[in-house]
């Protein structure tokens, strides 16, 4: 028996050595990377497709269909900015996505997810290189650490305001990351300065808590540029100004104050200080960023990376993005996207800069296999939960159709409880029972389907 085990260990060792030799071939890495991108795209499309319009999608859907011209979109965004919030780009994305067929959106959102994860990848590496294990790790950590994956990535109204609104900031900060590895004179020429300034304004205007984190990143990058190159480049100075302008336009939008008053947020400084401690503490939740904090700590202690300082800056930016939420409340569900992405970049920088040796390459191979197994489990869980919700929602749609055909415009439907965080409605409101029939979601869904009222009903067996 012992001899058999030894023989198996030897064979496994030889297999790993062969795989390591194979993985060192750049062409093989490129092929593996392309195949991985195709696989991720296929899986994400399969998750997008059964995800229905939910909550805000239904309420905004009819309005989106009425917008056709540039002027109509401009008027809507203008009204939104002055009446409800400064995050106009997320609102614009949402209305654009709701105005196209769902099957087209599924393709667009799949492509958007690949762009989103690729920009995280570029912010880690600083350049285009093939590292299949790193790209797979990014996807695994998003599935593992986003407590409301469905809201951030699959829900039309949610992904418009979070994943899609993160693409421009990630693209912008990638230029800073590239400059950190190599001084590029072209960034300081007039055409590039104008382009990067516009990107900076749009980046600061994208998402409230992330905008603060990006200002922090910009200041830290400027300090590192000065130490490394002896001066602060012009694109960095103009970029910081652009970030400040965009952040000002976002945070001080008249609609933010209207919404702040409507939602009755506390203006107490003590309450905001309490939120700071709360928002830092929730980062240690196992369902969100605790895994990332543990990985970061482990790689800092055990790794030999020369970029620990850069990694630490992104980790601190993740914490700061959570702290910034304290002005209006607590970090919750979908608002974890900012901290999660910044912390993934922090962990990824250390992993990518791991001392390259034969043993490390063997570890990467083993890790790649483990990540594949983990992604399979996550995908199966997500697919099961999303299909379960889609089937229940389709039953409710059939109930609405049948009742309307009968002439009944006061409809009762089944309550639906999403199974897991991959469902778009996980953590969102559901249609309420009769006693809460005046709930905003009930009224909105009734209007969308041409009903007088709609409510859910819980049926219990009679004793």
pLDDT digits (tens, 9 = 90+) for 200-249: 999 999 988 899 999 999 999 999 999 999 999 999 999 999 999 999 99
* Number of C-beta neighbours around residue 303 at 10 A: 17
pLDDT for 20 equals: 47
Enumerate residues 6+ apart whose C-beta is below 8 A from 463.
none
Name the helix (H) or strand (E) containing 155: none
- Distance (Å, whole) CA 272 – CA 330: 9
Average pLDDT value for the chain: 88
Q: Which residue has the higher pLDDT, 263 or 71?
A: 71
With cut-offs at 50, 70 and 90, classify the pLDDT of residue 360.
low
Residue pLDDT, tens place only, 397-409: 999 999 999 999 8
User: For 454, how many CA atoms within 13 A lie in the half-sphere containing its CB?
Assistant: 24
Determine which of 67-81, 125-139, 429-443 has the lowest per-residue pLDDT on average.
429-443
Determine the Cα–Cα distance for residues 167 and 122; give it in Å rounded to an integer.
12
Q: What is the pLDDT of residues 296-318, one digit of tens each?
A: 999 998 877 889 999 999 999 99
DSSP string across 16-65: HHHHHHHHT-HHHHHHHHHHHHHHHHHHHHHHHTTPPP-THHHHHHHHHH
The residue among 205, 114, 195, 185 whose CA lies nearest residue 153 is: 114
Q: Identify the band that residue 460 occupies on the pLDDT scale cut at 50, 70 and 90.
A: low
Supply the pLDDT for residue 358.
Answer: 57
The Cα–Cα gap between 136 and 269 comes to: 42
pLDDT one-digit tens code per residue, 11-44: 445 444 444 444 456 777 788 899 999 999 999 9
Task: Quote the pLDDT of residue 22.
Answer: 45
32-165-90 Cα angle (round to 5): 140
| pLDDT confidence band for 461 (50 / 70 / 90) | low
Estimate to the nearest angstrom the gap between the alpha carbon of 373 and the chain centroid.
22
What is residue 273's predicted lDDT score, i.e. its pLDDT? Answer: 86
Q: Rounded mean pLDDT of 416-443? A: 88
pLDDT for residue 365 = 80
Among the listed residues 251, 213, 260, 219, the one whose alpha carbon sits nearest the alpha carbon of residue 237? 219
**What pLDDT is stored for residue 64 in this prediction?**
87
Cα(29)–Cα(376) distance, integer angstroms: 21
**What is the bridge-based pairing of β-strands 453-456 and 410-413?**
parallel
pLDDT, position 15: 45
> Distance between alpha carbon 245 and the CA centroid of its chain, in Å?
24
DSSP track, 246-271: HHHHHHT-HHHHHHHHHTT----HHH
Instruction: Tell which residue, 155, 172, 209, 463, has the closest CA to residue 336.
Output: 209
pLDDT at 1 over 80: no
User: 112 — phi, psi (to 5°)?
Assistant: -60, -40
């Amino acid at each position: 028996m012992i001899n058999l085990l030894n023989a198996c260990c030897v064979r496994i060792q030889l297999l790993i050595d062969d795989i390591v030799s194979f993985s060192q071939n750049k062409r093989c890495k490129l092929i593996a990377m392309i195949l991985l991108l195709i696989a991720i795209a296929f899986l994400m499309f399969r998750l997008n497709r059964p995800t229905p319009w939910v909550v805000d999608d239904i309420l905004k859907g009819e309005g989106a269909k009425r917008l056709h011209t540039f002027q109509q979109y401009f008027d809507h965004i203008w009204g939104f900015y002055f009446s409800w919030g400064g995050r106009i780009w997320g609102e614009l994305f949402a209305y654009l996505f709701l105005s196209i067929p769902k099957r087209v959106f599924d393709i667009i959102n799949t492509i958007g997810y690949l762009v989103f994860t690729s920009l995280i990848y570029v912010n880690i590496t600083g350049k285009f290189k093939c590292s299949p294990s790193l790209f797979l790790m990014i996807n695994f950590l998003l599935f593992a650490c986003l407590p409301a994956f469905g809201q951030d990535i699959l829900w039309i109204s949610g992904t418009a305001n979070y994943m899609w609104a993160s693409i421009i900031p990630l693209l912008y900060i990638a230029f800073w990351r590239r400059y950190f590895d190599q001084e590029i004179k072209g960034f300081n020429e007039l055409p590039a300065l104008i382009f990067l300034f516009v990107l900076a304004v749009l980046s600061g205007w994208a998402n409230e808590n992330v905008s603060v984190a990006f200002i922090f990143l910009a200041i830290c990058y400027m300090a590192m540029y000065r130490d490394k190159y002896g001066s602060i480049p012009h694109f960095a100075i103009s970029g910081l100004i652009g970030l400040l302008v965009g952040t000002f336009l976002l945070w001080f939008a008249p609609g933010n104050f209207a919404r702040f008053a409507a939602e009755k947020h506390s203006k107490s400084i003590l309450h905001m200080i309490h939120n700071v401690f709360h928002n830092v503490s929730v980062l240690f939740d196992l369902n969100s960023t605790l895994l990332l904090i543990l990985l970061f700590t482990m790689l800092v202690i055990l790794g030999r990376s020369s970029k620990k300082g850069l990694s630490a800056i992104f980790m601190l930016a993740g914490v700061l993005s959570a702290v910034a939420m304290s002005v209006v409340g607590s970090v919750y569900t979908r608002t974890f996207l900012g901290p999660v992405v910044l912390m993934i970049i922090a962990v990824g920088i250390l992993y990518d800069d791991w001392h390259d040796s034969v043993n490390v390459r063997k570890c990467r191979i083993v890790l790649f296999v483990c990540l594949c197994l983990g992604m399979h489990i996550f995908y199966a869980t997500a697919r099961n939960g999303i299909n379960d919700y889609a089937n229940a929602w389709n039953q409710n749609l059939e109930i609405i159709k049948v009742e309307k055909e009968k002439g009944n415009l006061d409809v009762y439907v089944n309550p639906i409880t999403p199974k897991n965080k991959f469902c778009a409605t996980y953590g969102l409101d559901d249609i309420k029972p009769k006693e809460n029939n005046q709930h905003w979601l009930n009224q909105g869904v009734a209007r969308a389907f041409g009903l007088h009222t709609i409510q859910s009903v819980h049926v219990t067996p009679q004793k």
